[in-house]
Amino acid sequence: MPSLPPPPPLLLLLLILLLLRVAPAAEEAEEEEPWCPYKVRGEGEEEGGGRLCFRSPARGFQCSGRWCRSHRSAGGALVANVLLNGSVLVQWGAPRPSAGLRGFALNCSWDGTYTRFPCESVELGAACRDFLLPEAHGGVRYRLCLQPRFGPRRPAPPAQCVEFRPQPPAMRDIVVAMTAVGGSICLMLVFICLLVAYITENLMSPATAAPRRA
């Protein structure tokens, strides 16, 4: 049988470029999962207990403006975004290297008058990169610690911890009221400027009459 002619160099180059573009896209598709599995374990419950739940990750969230304040851990890997409505969105990145990662353990505690009290602990899957605390008490100092969990052949790195104090409800109401009043004042000033411009243009300028024909 006659041998086939070798493909031209341009075709080989196009095939190599196509493979290089498809491989990273496939890896990203495998890493990014649409759901985050987690278990909330109350005080006194054994490890691994709790009901399995799923949540959608908050990809693309950015803490900015007066409605959110970010608090970072000492290493910078753990971020607590304290929102004005009393909720806290906790975010973290993937540990390096991530081979053998089995999940994360998120522990919470808050300062009392004489001692520190534990909050609910959360066990999250390896694909999770954030978690939402829906209701945090205002004026209480919280401490969140995230501990990655690996297989038995790899020791776990030290936990990342972040501390923050949400605003009291009264302070949140004051901020909301001041924002609403400030918006109303700005709108009123814009209306006054438009009214002054209209009066200056139409009433204060001299009228020009067309000359009459004899």
Which pLDDT value is given to residue 151? 86
Render the burial of 51-84: b for 16+ CB within 10 Å, e for the rest. eeeeeebeeeeebeeeebbebebeeebbbbbbbb
Which pLDDT value is given to residue 103? 93
Closest CA to 141 of 105, 113, 121, 169: 113
Which pLDDT value is given to residue 25? 42
Closest CA to 133 of 169, 142, 182, 125: 142
The pTM for the full model equals 0.61
Which pLDDT value is given to residue 67? 84
Q: Which residues of the chain have pLDDT under 70?
A: 1-33, 42-49, 113, 169-187, 191, 203-214
Q: What is the largest CA-CA distance in the chain?
A: 109
- Asked if 141 contacts 111 with a C-beta cutoff of 8 angstroms, the reply is yes
The predicted-structure confidence for 127-136, as pLDDT tens digits, reads as follows: 999 999 988 8
